[in-house]
Amino acid sequence: MTMQTTHALTFESIPTTYARLVGKFPLRPIHDPTELDNATEILDAMALHNEDFTPDQADFFDVLSTLVETYETQHDPLLIPKASPLETLKSLLVAHEMSASDLGRILGNRELGSKILRGARKLTVNHIKKLAERFSVTPSLFIP
């Protein structure tokens, strides 16, 4: 994104026509954190004045907001969908080179491991506590 901003971007310095807006701040997909910062700076300067937008500014704001949202959805770890508790458990078992029997031993019943991994049994609060402690992770990883 070739969008260049200045340190003193104000609403008054933002063009009022779409052609001038795009000329000064071209609308392109955001590729990196610097481009995200530039786009966010423009949105911040505009956001407090949304009642004063010209129709062109409103359109520009909507499109730039969509570009920011798209980038953040794809790159922000807090917005990336969380794995299911079962997927998380399976990943931890693979990472620790553990089997269903190993899981069962952690939970206190060797057969329980395979039942949980097949989805035939759900994790209880007690299971979640044991898994969180064993793998040194937050219990919330095992809560849907």
Which CATH number does the domain housing residue 130 bear? 1.10.260.40
Measured over the CA atoms of residue 74, residue 11, residue 27 and residue 37, the dihedral's sign is negative
* Band (31; pLDDT cuts 50, 70, 90): very high
Whether 6 is covered by a domain: the verdict is no
Both 71 and 92 in one domain: the answer is no
Domain count, the chain: 2
Model confidence, pTM: 0.51
Contact, 92 vs 137, CB < 8 A? yes
**Domain end: 48, 75, 102, which one?**
75
Both 112 and 69 in one domain: the answer is no
Whether 2 is covered by a domain: the verdict is no
Report which of residues 77 and 133 the model is more confident about: 133
Both 66 and 96 in one domain: the answer is no
Q: Which domain, by its residues, includes 24? A: 11-75
Over residues 112-144, the pLDDT tens digits come to 999 999 999 999 999 999 998 998 888 888 887
**Domain end: 41, 75, 109, which one?**
75
d(CA 76, CA 115): 34
